Amino acid sequence: MTGPGADRTTTPADDHQGTALFAELARSVVALAAREQLRSFALPYPRSAQRVLDRMVLYCLDRGWAPPRSVPEVMAWCAEHTAGGPLFQVPAEFLSPEARLIDPVGRLPSRICLELASHGPQGQVEQEAVDLLTDLAARCGSAERYSRCRRFLADRPVIGQRDPFSDGSHWNPALWKRVKDLYEPVPEYLLSSRVLALCGTCGLPGLSFGRRAAGPGTWCESEHCPPGVHFRLIRDPGRTLLLRRSLRIFLCLPGPTEFAALAELSRAGIGHDLVPAALGAHFVHTLAAAPYLLRTYDRLEPALLASRITNTPVDATADTLVVVPRRQADRPGYRSAFATALDDDCRRRTMLTTPDELVRQIGILHSSRKGNAHA
């Protein structure tokens, strides 16, 4: 993890044993969930699960604690123990102390687990989303075709029983041919009594456990929808297709924020172009000499977001506006944790903002550039 050439993609917290173990556990939880083994624990386990059990045993023995005896027990600990609790003691500047890897209600990888499993050189889930979109851009051949396909995916995490355009939109077989491989049958782990529940707010899958409205004891993939929202229940969803999970979380979830930000720019008469091989990145053209870079995310963990911005530069010199939903930016400590976790160079040219603040922030950046030019 700290080998030569890896310095840029590690953070001080990666050298902390509990943190490194928590991150390895996140990757194992994702691997088990991908094989539908998070509840059944059918053998054989992926090698990563066996390895993390061995590491967990050593970690506990070194500290004089009773170690876990099996992979299922390690996974039970992931639903029970928090990042900041006595077992892992992950520093609060790296991860929210109350973060859990397995959601205790959904019994599935939590959003924080998916964010952490995407962190660093061994990261997986967000990288898969980037790779799938990069392949799609190559298949599309033109920026306009790619932009249309990408918007289709961002708006449609679920494809209905009849056909992908059953919402009344114009049937477009060429578009469907390009994107259909990114959809898959509904996995067992999202079914409860053969029913697929779709959240009435975010449109993503949830688990309603027989209830019609969100509340205590229910769960949806976005993890932020308010109680009382109705689920759409699909019984025996044999012909329903779901967008791959990496794209649901890293493309569909930030979609509304990205499209709200672009709408604000268009309203202000500011031009923008999509950067194909990146998630939610656009160049923004103003009267300034060089374009600004806009990057949109919906991330729960500000330090992991900062690491992503620092370590996956789309343009290592552009002034960058990182747009997140207001509900994230307004969380206590979110903006300062994000700024602290950026490296010095990145901090100087990066600004965290929200769709409704974006145009004003561009004005501020523009004036400060002019001031610098005159200084």
| Residues found near Zn ion in the complex (CB under 5 A) | 199, 201-202, 220, 222, 225
Rounded Cα gap, residues 183 and 179, in angstroms = 8
Residue (147 or 201) nearer to Zn ion, CB:
201
CB of 224 to Zn ion, least distance (A): 7
CB of 202 to Zn ion, least distance (A): 3
E strand residue ranges, the chain: 158-159, 183-185, 191-192, 195-199, 205-207, 219-220, 231-235, 241-243, 271-274, 281-285, 292-296, 320-323, 350-353
Residue (10 or 218) nearer to Zn ion, CB:
218
Buried b (16+ CB within 10 A) or exposed e, 146-162: bebbbebbbebbbbeee
Per-residue tokens: 267: 């309203």
Q: Exposed, middle or buried, 167 (CB in 10 Å: 0-12/13-18/19+)?
A: exposed
CB of 331 to Zn ion, least distance (A): 18
Rounded Cα gap, residues 230 and 200, in angstroms = 5
Residue (101 or 199) nearer to Zn ion, CB:
199
Residue 316 vs residues 343, 346, 347, 350: alpha-carbon distances, Å: 12, 8, 12, 11
CB of 241 to Zn ion, least distance (A): 19
Residue (116 or 197) nearer to Zn ion, CB:
197
Q: Are strands 292-296 and 281-285 parallel, antiparallel or unpaired?
A: antiparallel
Residue (220 or 251) nearer to Zn ion, CB:
220
CB of 149 to Zn ion, least distance (A): 24
Residue (97 or 228) nearer to Zn ion, CB:
228
CB of 207 to Zn ion, least distance (A): 11
